[in-house]
Amino acid sequence: MTANIEPNTTKRLNSPLWLSIILIVLGIVAIALPNISTLVTETWVALILISAGGAKLGYAFQTRDRGGLLWQVLLAILYVATGILLFSAPLTGVLTLTLLLGSFLLTEGVFESILAFRLRPQANWSWLLINGVVTFLLGLMIWFQWPFNAPWLIGTLIGVSVLFTGISRLSFSLQQPKLPGDSSQQSA
């Protein structure tokens, strides 16, 4: 039995496939060129901070009648200044972001482990503990290898994330959707 599929449906079905392939390629490139992908990531963070600071400044003046204008302006300046510093000194920014990532993972690992012990009476609580310990160890690895790991670490992690996002999207896009009236996908 043949199902008639409209061209728009076929185009929609193929879009996730192509997006998945693009993500996989970008992930591989980011992993293969970690120094460049680290700088690109750091630059994006700088641009986001500058943009967010501009938005905060606009919001501060739009809501100045509600009070706190000075603090909102100072916060906006902090965002913009941090973004400019990251943008103007990218290597220092990479060192700083890597140290912050290590600190974040250390803290998350401790909190996740504490949470695991608090949830100990529940089933499968040990998975939380394993996650906490692994996260803590990753944070320690970043700290002990810092600053030598800074040029490649963030780019590699972003690359791995993008690669696995692409792979997971590819697995979903390769699944054939069950079309109404299609008896070939029904089990006998």
- pTM equals 0.68
Asked if residue 94 has pLDDT above 70, the reply is: yes
- Asked whether residue 129 is assigned to any structural domain, the reply reads yes
Q: Tell me which residue range forms the domain holding 78.
A: 21-175
CA atoms within 13 A on the CB side of 130: 4
- Asked whether residue 148 is assigned to any structural domain, the reply reads yes
- Average confidence score pLDDT of the chain: 84
| Among the listed residues 169, 160, 122, the one whose alpha carbon sits nearest the alpha carbon of residue 138 | 160
Quick one: pLDDT at residue 3? 54
Interatomic CA distance for residues 136 and 96, integer angstroms? 19
Asked if residue 188 has pLDDT above 80, the reply is: no
Question: Is the CB of residue 176 less than 8 Å from the CB of residue 185?
Answer: yes
Question: Is the CB of residue 98 less than 8 Å from the CB of residue 34?
Answer: no
- Asked whether residue 187 is assigned to any structural domain, the reply reads no
Quick one: pLDDT at residue 176? 58
Asked if residue 181 has pLDDT above 70, the reply is: no
Q: How many separate domains does the chain show?
A: 1
Task: Count Cβ atoms below 10 Å from residue 5 Cβ, excluding itself.
Answer: 12
- Asked whether residue 133 is assigned to any structural domain, the reply reads yes
Asked if residue 61 has pLDDT above 80, the reply is: yes
- Asked whether residue 124 is assigned to any structural domain, the reply reads yes
- Asked whether residue 183 is assigned to any structural domain, the reply reads no
Hunting for tokens 């706190």 — which residue is that? 68
Q: Which of 16-25, 118-127, 141-150, 168-177 has the lowest mean pLDDT?
A: 168-177
- Asked whether residue 1 is assigned to any structural domain, the reply reads no
The pLDDT tens digits of the residues spanning 158-167 come to: 888 888 888 8
- Asked whether residue 49 is assigned to any structural domain, the reply reads yes
